């Protein structure tokens, strides 16, 4: 899929996706990007240009923490994991998304 | 997220920038390697994998930049960078920077000086416990038009025992005493106070003890002293072992029992003696200052009601002295500054605010002009994606930086100015010595610096992003500055002119008042007069010692060749006390409607006084050596009582008749007693130039009525006579201090020192204001003319004469000036009423002042327009059009 047709990320979407993906296990940047593409069936292709600022912003906000580790193919990589605050944030944002999407769906389905 | 975490992150980002950046670079590199691995795993060759990985990654530098932007503290870094940039920009424009800094330094320096004086006089609390509950009490006799008089001793004791509203009531009596024993005799202020005086104020001695209640009942032999702090330092070198030592006051040894903490001037320079309770205290003589501390839970209204009740009782019990008595009180805040002083300080603060505002407007104006020539830079920034907020910040930064410079320089200016003003020791500005750059004043300075920065940057900042980017980028040279901007700048100039008008009117009114004041007929002759006081101890009132001394003094002084006349009076004009009495003709001449007898000042004078001070005799005769005091001396036969009265008093109690030889009742409604009027002298302004001429009764001096203020009329410079005076007095009595030696001119001038100070300060402010406003006008006009060079060239080429061009320029420039003048006149008309209390002899709407100010303002405006106009007139069309 060419980048132009990639659905533009809604404000805040990227954050919740990252949180969701990291909820399962700690991951490095590329892993996160690939997993997001996978779980959204390719709708969202996260470019490093948006991924890195988001990761660093969320780390500064205290939702993520990072450590250098070794990747599956023995490369040095920085791994991100969810903090307690991040878990909370994920819960809050999930609820909010559920409300919004329900509202949007009902609004759009109304003839 | 905890604030701690944020701070830690911020700290890391700012201090370990390198480490954070390196970490980020590592992370991106690792991402790239993982990508390459992934591509290679999918079957691409190493070089292809590398290419694809790079493609997907995008620019590593851009990623880093994006990450940096979201980091905590990125704003801070940007601000620092912009600050640096603004700083460089200002350095490239030294003229503008110096001009703006100078202007703001002037405005802020002046504001800081005025505020420091204002703070010391009106804001700084009294150094007493709980000063809000501290009050001063006074007696009234409203039926006689006396709204405020000191307490009589007996009334004080009665109010103290009968009231239910005051926790403490204390009295003080000001007196002078001769301090002898160490060096030449010296006159000091000795205040007798009730034992609870300091307790009522809430002051405890720093050394020794307070007076004990028993000190009030020790009778007159209780010779203990408490010293004011400054007195202790200046006279006794701050001797820590002073307690128990003795000082000789009026030839009596007194034991020091305590030293007060430093405090207000009136509780710092003096010595305090116990008051002493007397069961036979006098009820008729009003001499005592009374302070009180309201009891907890008692409201002001309740206390007033309580005092009114007591006044009623006193009036009935002692009808001779207390008929019609009223008792009232006022807050202790009035002890520092009276209403007029307060008003004057408010006016100064207002004036300096206007001045600062003008400086702000002027700077805004200059920055706006600069903004126009900087439009290209701003347009480039906008094109590169700088948001509006960021641009506003960028432009604002400059004015804030400038106001920072201005504030720094202004503080230095203020520091020296405050010291200079203090060294002038201007009388009448309370606590001037306390004024200084204390934390409050510094806070004020910081606040106005910030406000000034924002205020003067506001117009240019809002203007900046509004101008069309495309036009600005296309061609900056032909930018004439948008129409809106020209209007905005004219508006700013209009504001400046209007504010200057306000200041000029304020200054004009004060200067006019002051000249009126100086030209007022005081009744005295002020030139060539020396005044000094000899402070005579109690022993001088016995056996005629004082009279003998005075007569010998007059005789010896008269023998000095330069001396024209010598005389003496009990209370120095302008500065001395002002005792009064009820007085009326016998029988009263005035209509039945005026029930109360007039209240007149009384003074004891020597026969030579009138000639020495220059008061003309209008009718009858002056005193001679046969006239004796109106008080009879114990054991002496009663002499005929004779008085001289002033012209206004004569006209009041003897309308349409010659008072000489007629009888008057002295101290009417009090102790009473008749006397014969032997002469009428000219009126004089006994209480200073700003007060109306007094109604005065002059009483002859004598063995028991001494006059301590000596007046010498000389031919030459009065101060040249001082050594002669000192040696003559010293030869007569070496223990008698000569004090307060000044020329009469100086005495009178000191009385109007506050008025002079206000007029000068406001005059200086308005001068600055005029200068600033005119610089603004000149700047706007000459800038606009330089922008219109080609247009003017075209006009000239089409046949416009130089005169046409000049009148065009002037009419353009005079429009804001005229509008500003009109607005200023309206504002001044509305504001000048608040200056009423400070004016003398003129109305707040003084036509002369207003027209003079308008003429000055418009004439300078014309000059400011003429200069750019003349330049425009000489534009050569060939050159002007070639610029295109």
Its ipTM equals 0.85
Considering only the beta carbons, identify the residue of B58, B69, B72 that sits closest to A60: B72
Q: Do the chains contact at A75 and B71, CB–CB below 8 Å?
A: no
Q: Do the chains contact at B1 and A71, CB–CB below 8 Å?
A: no
Residues of B in Cβ contact (< 8 Å) with A30? 31, 34-35, 38
pTM over 0.80: no
Residues of A in Cβ contact (< 8 Å) with B66? 49-50, 52-53
State how far residue A71 is from chain B, nearest Cα, in angstroms: 9
CB burial of residue B326 (10 Å; 0-12, 13-18, 19+): buried
* Mean pLDDT split into 10-residue runs, chain B, 884 residues: 75 80 87 86 82 82 79 76 82 84 90 92 85 90 79 89 90 84 76 89 88 71 83 86 85 87 80 82 83 91 92 87 86 82 89 90 82 70 69 80 91 92 80 86 90 82 59 52 69 89 92 90 90 86 88 94 94 86 83 70 93 93 89 80 94 90 84 87 90 91 90 93 92 87 90 87 90 84 78 84 86 88 92 86 88 91 86 79 63
Task: Report the residue of B68, B70, B75 to disrupt the A interface, i.e. the one with the largest count of A CBs within 10 Å.
Answer: B70
**Residues in A 13-42 with any Cβ partner in B closer than 8 A:** 28-30
pLDDT at B676: 93
Distances (CA, A) of B234 to A96, B188, B193: 78, 12, 22
Is B270 within 8 Å of B231 (Cβ atoms)?
yes
Buried b (16+ CB within 10 A) or exposed e, B115-139: bbbbbbbbebebebeebebbbbbbb
Residues of B in Cβ contact (< 8 Å) with A58? none
Q: What's the CA gap between B300 and B303, in Å, rounded? A: 5
Tokens of B662: 């007629």
pLDDT at B742: 92
* DSSP strand pairing (B146-149 vs B134-141): antiparallel
A5 phi/psi in degrees, rounded to 5: -90, -5
Residue B362's H or E segment, with its range, is helix B339-373
Who's near B445: CB < 8 A, 6+ residues apart?
B108, B111, B112, B115, B407, B410, B411, B414, B437
Q: Do the chains contact at B63 and A62, CB–CB below 8 Å?
A: no
Tokens of B334: 């009035």
> A94 pLDDT exceeds 60?
yes
Q: Model confidence at A2, in pLDDT bands (50, 70, 90)? A: very low
Helix (H, G, I), strand (E, B) or coil at B298: coil
pLDDT at A4: 37
* Cα maximum dimension of chain A: 55
Q: What's the CA gap between B123 and B699, in Å, rounded? A: 44
Residues of A in Cβ contact (< 8 Å) with B28? 48, 52
pLDDT at B373: 65
pLDDT at B49: 85
Tokens of B175: 């007196």
Q: Do the chains contact at B24 and A52, CB–CB below 8 Å?
A: yes
Tokens of B350: 């207002």
A53 at interface of B, judged by CB pairs closer than 8 A: yes
A77 at interface of B, judged by CB pairs closer than 8 A: yes
Q: What's the CA gap between B649 and B672, in Å, rounded? A: 18
What is the rounded average pLDDT for all residues in chain A? Answer: 83
Tokens of B165: 């509203």
State how far residue B70 is from chain A, nearest Cα, in angstroms: 6
pLDDT at A111: 67
pLDDT at B558: 94
Is B186 within 8 Å of B243 (Cβ atoms)?
no
pLDDT at B2: 67
Is B653 within 8 Å of B594 (Cβ atoms)?
no
Task: Report the residue of A30, A47, A55 to disrupt the B interface, i.e. the one with the largest count of B CBs within 10 Å.
Answer: A30
């Amino acid at each position: 899929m060419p980048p132009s047709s990639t659905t533009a990320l809604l404000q805040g979407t990227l954050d919740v996706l990252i949180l969701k993906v990291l909820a399962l296990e700690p991951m490095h940047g590329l892993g996160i990007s690939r997993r997001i593409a996978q779980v959204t069936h390719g709708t969202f292709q996260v470019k490093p240009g948006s991924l890195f600022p988001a990761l660093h912003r969320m780390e500064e906000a205290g939702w993520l923490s990072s450590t250098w580790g070794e990747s599956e193919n023995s490369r040095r990589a920085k791994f991100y994991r969810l903090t307690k605050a991040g878990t909370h944030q994920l819960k809050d944002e999930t609820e909010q998304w559920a409300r919004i999407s329900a509202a949007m769906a009902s609004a759009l389905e109304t003839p | 997220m905890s604030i701690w975490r944020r701070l830690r992150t911020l700290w890391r980002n700012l201090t370990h920038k390198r480490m954070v950046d390196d970490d980020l670079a590592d992370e991106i590199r690792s991402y790239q390697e993982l990508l390459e691995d992934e591509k290679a795993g999918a079957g691409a060759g190493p070089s292809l994998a590398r290419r694809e990985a790079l493609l997907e990654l995008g620019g590593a530098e851009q990623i880093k930049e994006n990450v940096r932007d979201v980091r905590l503290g990125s704003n801070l870094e940007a601000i620092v960078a912009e600050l640096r940039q603004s700083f460089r920009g200002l350095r490239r424009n030294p003229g503008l920077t110096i001009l703006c800094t100078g202007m703001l330094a002037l405005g802020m320096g002046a504001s800081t000086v005025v505020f420091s004086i204002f703070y010391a006089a009106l804001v700084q609390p009294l150094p007493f416990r709980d000063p809000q509950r501290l009050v001063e009490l006074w007696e009234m006799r409203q039926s006689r038009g006396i709204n405020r008089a000191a307490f009589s001793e007996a009334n004080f004791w009665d109010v103290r025992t009968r009231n239910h509203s005051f926790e403490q009531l204390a009295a003080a009596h000001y007196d002078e005493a001769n301090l002898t024993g160490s060096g030449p005799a010296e006159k000091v202020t000795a205040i007798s106070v009730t034992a609870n005086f300091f307790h009522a104020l809430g002051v405890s001695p720093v050394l020794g003890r307070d007076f004990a209640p028993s000190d009030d009942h020790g009778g007159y032999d209780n010779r203990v002293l408490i010293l004011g702090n400054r007195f202790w330092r200046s006279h006794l070198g701050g001797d820590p072992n002073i307690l128990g030592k003795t000082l000789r006051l009026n030839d009596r040894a007194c034991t020091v029992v305590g030293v007060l903490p430093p405090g207000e001037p009136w509780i710092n320079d003096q010595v305090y003696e116990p008051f002493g309770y007397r069961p036979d205290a006098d009820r008729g003589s009003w001499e005592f200052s009374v302070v009180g501390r309201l009891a907890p839970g008692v409201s002001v209204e309740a206390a007033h009601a309580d005092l009114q009740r007591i006044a009623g009782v006193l009036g009935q019990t002692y009808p001779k002295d207390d008929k019609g008595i009223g008792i009232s009180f006022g807050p202790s805040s009035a002890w520092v500054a009276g209403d007029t002083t307060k008003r004057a300080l408010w006016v100064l603060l207002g004036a300096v605010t206007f001045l600062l505002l003008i400086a702000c407007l002027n700077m805004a104006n200059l920055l706006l002009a600069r903004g126009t020539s900087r439009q290209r830079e701003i347009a480039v920034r906008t094109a590169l994606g700088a948001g509006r907020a960021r641009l506003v910040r960028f432009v604002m930064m400059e004015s804030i930086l400038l106001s920072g410079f201005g504030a720094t320089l202004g503080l230095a200016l203020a520091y020296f100015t405050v010291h200079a003003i203090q060294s002038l020791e201007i009388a009448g500005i309370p606590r001037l010595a306390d004024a200084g750059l204390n934390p409050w004043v510094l806070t004020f300075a910081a606040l106005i610096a910030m406000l000034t920065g924002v205020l003067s940057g506001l117009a240019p900042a809002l203007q900046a992003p509004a101008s069309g980017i495309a036009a600005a980028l296309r061609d900056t040279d032909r930018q004439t500055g948008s129409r809106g901007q020209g209007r905005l700048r004219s508006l700013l100039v209009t504001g400046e002119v209007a504010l200057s008008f306000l200041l000029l009117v304020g200054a004009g009114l004060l200067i006019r008042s002051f000249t009126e004041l100086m030209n007022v007929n005081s009744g005295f002759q002020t030139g060539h007069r020396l005044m000094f006081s000899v402070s005579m101890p109690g022993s001088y009132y016995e056996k005629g010692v004082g009279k003998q001394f005075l007569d010998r003094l007059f005789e010896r002084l008269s023998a000095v060749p330069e001396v024209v006349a010598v005389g003496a009076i009990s209370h120095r004009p302008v500065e001395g006390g002002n005792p009064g009495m009820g007085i009326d003709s016998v029988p009263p001449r005035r209509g039945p409607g005026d029930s109360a007898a007039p209240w007149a000042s009384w003074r004891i004078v020597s026969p030579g006084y009138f000639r020495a001070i220059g008061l003309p005799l209008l009718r009858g005769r002056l005193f001679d050596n046969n006239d004796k005091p109106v008080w009879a001396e114990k054991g002496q036969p009663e002499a005929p009582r004779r008085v001289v009265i002033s012209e206004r008093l004569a006209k009041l109690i003897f309308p349409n008749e010659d008072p000489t030889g007629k009888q008057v009742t002295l101290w009417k409604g009090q102790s009473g007693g008749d006397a014969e009027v032997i002469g009428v002298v000219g009126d004089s302004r006994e209480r200073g130039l700003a007060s109306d001429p007094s109604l005065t009764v002059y009483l002859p001096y004598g063995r028991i009525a001494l006059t301590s203020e000596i007046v010498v009329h000389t031919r030459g410079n009065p101060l040249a006579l001082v050594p002669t005076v000192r040696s003559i007095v010293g030869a007569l009595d070496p223990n008698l201090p000569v004090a307060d030696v000044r020329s009469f001119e100086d005495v009178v001038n000191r009385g109007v020192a506050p008025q002079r100070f206000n007029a000068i300060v406001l005059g200086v402010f308005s001068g600055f204001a005029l200068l600033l406003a005119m610089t603004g006008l000149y700047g706007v006009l000459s800038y606009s003319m330089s922008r219109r060079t080609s247009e003017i060239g075209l006009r000239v080429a089409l046949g416009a004469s130089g005169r046409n061009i000049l009148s065009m320029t002037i009419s353009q420039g005079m429009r804001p000036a005229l509008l500003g003048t009109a607005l200023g006149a309206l504002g001044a008309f509305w504001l000048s009423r608040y200056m009423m209390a400070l004016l003398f002899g003129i109305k707040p709407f003084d036509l002369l002042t207003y027209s003079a100010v308008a003429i000055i303002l418009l004439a300078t405006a014309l000059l400011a327009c003429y200069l750019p106009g003349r330049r425009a007139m000489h534009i050569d069309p060939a050159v002007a059009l070639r610029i295109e």
